Amino acid sequence: MLVKMRAKVSVVSILLLFSVSSLAEEVKVTVQGVTSIAKTDDNFVCATLDWWPVNKCDYNQCPWGKAGLLNLDLNNKILSNAIKAFSSLRIRIGGSLQDQVLYKVGNSVKKCPHFKRQKEGLFGFSKGCLSMDRWDEINNLINKTGALMTFGLNALIGRRKGTTGDTLWEGDWNPQNAHDLMKYTISKGHKIESYELGNELCASGVAAKVSAEQYAKDIVTLKNLVKELYPNSTTRPKVLGPAGFFDQKWFSTFLEKSGPDVVDGLTHHIYNLGPGNDPSLIDKIRDPFILSQVAQTYRDIFVTVNEFGPWSGAWVGEAGGAYNSGGKYVSHTFADGFWYLDQLGMSSTFNHKVFCRQALIGGNYALLNTTTFIPNPDYYGALLWHRLMGKNVLAATHSGSSYLRAYSHCSKEKRGITLLLINMSNSTCFDVSVINDENLYPRQTEEDSESEKWREEYHLTPKCGDIQSDVVLLNGTPLRLTESLDVPSMEPKLVDPSSPITVAPESIVFATLRDFKAPACD
Ligand SMILES: *[C@@H]1O[C@H](CO)[C@@H](O)[C@H](O)[C@H]1NC(C)=O
Ligand SMILES: *[C@@H]1O[C@H](CO)[C@@H](O)[C@H](O)[C@H]1NC(C)=O
Ligand SMILES: *[C@@H]1O[C@H](CO)[C@@H](O)[C@H](O)[C@H]1NC(C)=O
Ligand SMILES: *[C@@H]1O[C@H](CO)[C@@H](O)[C@H](O)[C@H]1NC(C)=O
Ligand SMILES: CC(=O)N[C@H]1CO[C@H](CO)[C@@H](O)[C@@H]1O
């Protein structure tokens, strides 16, 4: 019996040894440190708060709970600590129901109803109401956490549904209610970083649509309103739109017709993983071929901005991966980082300024658990990105497996560069060496004052190797809130820089190389 068991154990260990050693692959990642290829905003990482009521349900579940803006516990300590940890997190307030929200201020709004289920309403809901008490509470949270707020305005107010029988809405936007809200907001000293007009009304729309020509006219109205109420151009909120799915014709017409210096951020939405109830979501989310397809959209937007609106910047205004509130067993787990961090990397290489994740809280795809507020793995991924990845984006390429994704930015604040390495393979370990491509404009050699002793590495892996876990490990230790409900400190592992960066199967690594000579980062 004993002998038999020993034999079994050694067979297993030989198999293990074999599988580990045979599946390591050496990869050289080349980073061009000479010039940056794109630049993000200082606050590239952004998360959304949405209006969905408790009874927003998809696929026999109602995953929003009390996380919608009108129900959310704004005094929750985890929520404010989680936002504060970014100093500053960009927060975009908006979503499907935003074009049905009335602001209870001024004289133009007589009735201010609660959202109710309504068959004939857009998205199955009636109009809803934002009271100024609630608005103050939301702004107080933004103020005390040092966040930056993008507020999405109702863009259907004043229009009527067209007579053609489709979803086209016609007529001018009526800015009165927005005007009254802004006046109130200013009188209270609340700071709004940007105003966005409408949600998913562009191109073919979702529940309703507006033509590009009409929308251009309306966003000029919004710009003039903002200019009038915020005369100081240094502190004036930006104007963003159209907050919907990209369509080349619609977006270029919108930029052309609205004209120079109107649209500060061209916002578009990304849901490239399909419906939240797709059973193959867990495979799609780590399939490099599927994930790469959206690069064409990022590139098309990049080209459209350059060609038709160089005064504007491209923003991902909302992206949740899988639509209809995300995937129940996927979107809040470690596996979502394969999609999310890859999207941050990809969109920034195409000169996107901001990436707003749907959602900070609510649905299955939130950074914070909808009921417990406990940070999900992507929360920590977002925070690491925000702390480590600077504004200047560098080209990073390799000729190894497509299951290894590599991105590089100048480091934030400190010297050198930071790499984001994502291993989507469940079997191959990548040993990455980083090559500096300075062949084209080699810099003058200079003396190293302080040569790098260590490389700083942050390895993210799922608990128990289960990529569908809600718990992520940093360098082998689970990330959990402290006893005071604060976000834990996230310290790097210090590694001998002469060794390659080991990227384990199904893991995500940030690595900071302080001595990497990158003139683009000076
Ligand atoms: C918060 O509000 C106070 C009072 O209006 C203001 O002095 C302070 O600058 C605000 N803080 C932030 C981060 O906006
Ligand atoms: C505009 O705002 C900036 C920043 O708060 C301030 O320094 C400047 O004095 C203001 N300008 C005017 C004309 O009020
Ligand atoms: C939130 O946490 C609870 C308790 O751990 C868990 O059952 C639930 O699946 C989580 N929900 C989401 C959407 O992450
Ligand atoms: C790796 O993933 C493939 C495809 O999803 C699957 O068939 C295989 O069983 C997985 N291997 C391991 C070791 O988990
Ligand atoms: C080259 C390589 O590592 N391929 C594997 C990548 O991961 C997928 C799924 O996790 C496997 O199916 C491949 O064999």
pLDDT in tens, 449-504: 456 789 999 999 999 999 999 999 999 999 999 999 999 999 999 999 999 999 99
Nearest in space to 317 (alpha carbons), one of 354, 343, 286:
354
Number of the ligand 3 atom closest to the C-alpha atom of 364: 13
Determine the residue of 232, 233, 236 to mutate for testing ligand 2's pocket, defined as the one with the most ligand atoms within 8 A of the Cβ atom. 232
User: Which of the residue ranges 105-119, 217-231, 466-480, 482-496 would you say has the lowest mean pLDDT?
Assistant: 105-119
pLDDT value for 441: 55
Assess whether the C-beta atom of 61 lies below 6 angstroms from ligand 3: no
Catalytic residue from among 193, 200, 456, 506: 200
pLDDT, average across residues 176-201: 98
Rounded to 5 degrees, φ, ψ at 99 are -85, 10
- Ligand 2 centre and the CA of 189: distance in Å? 15
Give the model confidence (pLDDT) of 316-335 as tens digits: 999 999 999 999 999 999 99
276 touches ligand 3 (CB under 6 Å) = no
Predicted local confidence at residue 164, as pLDDT: 82
pLDDT at 82 over 90: yes
What integer pLDDT is reported at residue 453 of this predicted model?
84
Average pLDDT over residues 393-417: 97
- Of 318, 456, 457, 506, the active-site residue reads 318
pLDDT for res 418: 98
Ligand 1 proximity of 260 Cβ (cutoff 6 Å): no
Backbone torsion region of residue 475, taken as left when φ is above 0, otherwise alpha when ψ lies between -120 and 50, otherwise beta: left
- Top mutation candidate among 338, 426, 430 for ligand 5, by most atoms within 8 Å of CB: 426
Quick check: CB of 235 below 6 Å from ligand 2? yes
Tell me which residue has its CA closest to atom 5 in ligand 1: 189
- Between CA 32 and CA 518 the distance in angstroms is 8
Taking the centre of ligand 4 as the mean of its atom positions, its distance from the CA of residue 426, in whole angstroms, is 6
- So what's the pLDDT on residue 438? 73
**Gap between the Cα atoms of 22 and 232, Å rounded:** 64
Interval between CA 189 and ligand 1 midpoint (Å): 8
Which ligand approaches the C-alpha of residue 506 most closely?
5
pTM: 0.94
- Residue having the nearest C-alpha atom to atom 12 of ligand 4: 426
pLDDT bin (cut points 50, 70, 90) of residue 4 is very low
Q: In angstroms, what is the span from residue 425 Cα to ligand 4's centroid? A: 9
Measured in Å, residue 318 CA sits from the centre of ligand 5 at 30
pLDDT value of residue 10: 46
Minimal-distance CA residue to ligand 1 atom 11: 143
Q: Which ligand is nearest to the CA of 289?
A: 5
pLDDT band at 393 (very low <50, low <70, confident <90, very high): very high
Ranges 110-119, 171-180, 214-223, 473-482: which has the least confidence: 110-119
Say if residue 444's pLDDT is above 80.
no
Query: Is the CB–ligand 1 distance for residue 143 below 6 Å?
Result: yes
Task: Give the DSSP H/E element, type plus range, for residue 5.
Answer: helix 2-22
Q: Is 140 in the pocket of ligand 1 (CB under 6 A)?
A: no
pLDDT of residue 442: 54
Any atom of ligand 1 within 6 Å of the Cβ of 146 = yes
User: Is the pLDDT assigned to residue 258 strictly greater than 60?
Assistant: yes
pLDDT confidence of residue 364:
98
In the block, residue with structure tokens 């251009």: 216
CA distance 294 to 22: 33
pLDDT digits (tens, 9 = 90+) for 27-80: 999 999 999 999 999 999 999 999 999 999 999 999 999 999 999 999 999 999
Question: Ligand 2 atom 6: the closest Cα is on which residue?
Answer: 234
**pLDDT mean over 303-322:** 98
Ligand nearest to the CA of 359: 3
Question: Which atom of ligand 2 lies closest to the CA of 232?
Answer: 1
State how far the alpha carbon of 370 is from the alpha carbons of 63, 122, 270, 399, 469, in Å: 8, 24, 21, 40, 16
pLDDT at 269 over 70: yes
List residues near ligand 4 (CB under 6 A): 283, 426-427
Q: Is the pLDDT assigned to residue 447 strictly greater than 50? A: no
Determine which residue's CA is closest to atom 8 belonging to ligand 3: 369
> Which residue among 52, 62, 332, 468 has the greatest number of ligand 3 atoms within 8 angstroms of its CB, and so is best to mutate?
332
Q: CB–CB of 381/12 below 8 Å?
A: no
At 290, is the pLDDT very low, low, confident or very high (cuts 50, 70, 90)?
very high
For residue 200, indicate whether it is catalytic. yes
Binding site membership of 370 for ligand 3 (Cβ less than 6 Å):
yes
Helices 248-258, 212-229: inter-axial angle, 10-degree rounding: 40
DSSP 212-265: HHHHHHHHHHHHHHHHHH---TTTPPEEEEEEE---HHHHHHHHHHH-TTT-SE
CB of 372 within 6 A of ligand 3: the answer is: yes
Confidence check: pLDDT of 300 > 60 = yes
